[in-house]
Chains A and B, each alone.
Chain A
């Protein structure tokens, strides 16, 4: 496997959590669900999934995941509950196409936001 085998996907999106839980909990569930879906689609390596979420007032919440089994690392925040959030995210993975990673991302986003 070489550097060219990794695909990169970036999104910037305004989102509103469906659940009433604290945004950081929603984010953890969203990332965990996305990583699980990537694995099911044939992703072999999570290079890095990282991003930040902003509520317009609090310090941004940064997140990072580096493995299919790994826990989401969070830094910053906490964010306010019940507000729209600006999500910026970059996905660098191997074993699947950018289209597959994007479809998985959109479906997981729709489950949580």
Chain B
């Protein structure tokens, strides 16, 4: 079982992106997967939205899987493996999550994973978060990314897109930056291609 962590600041479009990505991987590759949805609020909103789209969702809410719910994350991963054993789990982390803490927890307490890919979203509509950098945890989400997704490119001009792309490359030179609009579906195929290259899927 492999794990794809989708991270990114609050409201950066993670759920919309995840829906588009998973639909492509399911329809074209027959990927067998489970979505694990983490929300800091006491009510699951995104999980309800994804379930309404016909997707199989497990939920961890009322805290963050990087800290308060770290133990629940490990228990849930074991439960998913034992009961469903999918090819892949997509973990949508809360927008406040510290990705490095999630990775540390899994490294210490759940080593059965066959691989972990981190996809982090940056939000063009809130470019100041990255260009001015007042929130270290937002920058850290991107530092741990294997793929940095620059989302909402339909909401800004090319100059801003280029400036933010350059900034993302500075934050994490290791990650490939992919420009998308999850809302319009633009370039989500490109991310799906990268995921396919990382994870040969069953058919």
Contact = CB atoms under 8 A, between A and B. Distances in A.
Contacts of B45: 50-52, 62, 88-90
Contact of B11 (A60, A64, A89): A64
Instruction: State the main secondary structure of chain A at its contact with B.
Output: strand
B96 A3 contact: yes
B123 to A, nearest CB: 8
Contact of A60 (B9, B48, B134): B48
A1 B41 contact: no
Classify chain B's interface size. 20 to 34
Nearest to B141: A3
Interface in A71-113: 75-76, 88-92
Contacts of A46: 11
B42 interface: yes
A13 to B, nearest CB: 11
Contacts of A32: none
Contacts of B41: 8-10, 90-92
Classify chain A's interface size. 20 to 34
Contacts of A70: 125
Nearest to A49: B11
A92 B97 CA distance: 13
Contacts of A59: 52
Contact of B40 (A62, A64, A88, A92): A92
B78 interface: no
Contacts of B98: 3
B10 interface: yes
Contact of B96 (A6, A52, A66, A67): A6
Interface in A22-66: 46-48, 50-52, 59-60, 62, 64, 66
Nearest to B49: A62
A92 to B, nearest CB: 6
16 contacts: A2-B137, A3-B64, A8-B40, A46-B11, A47-B10, A47-B11, A47-B95, A48-B11, A50-B11, A64-B11, A66-B126, A88-B43, A89-B43, A89-B45, A92-B40, A92-B95
Given A67-B126, A88-B43, 15 more contacts: A2-B136, A8-B42, A10-B43, A12-B43, A47-B9, A50-B45, A59-B52, A60-B52, A62-B49, A66-B123, A75-B49, A90-B45, A92-B10, A92-B95, A92-B96
Interface of A: 1-3, 6, 8-12, 46-48, 50-52, 59-60, 62, 64, 66-67, 70, 75-76, 88-92
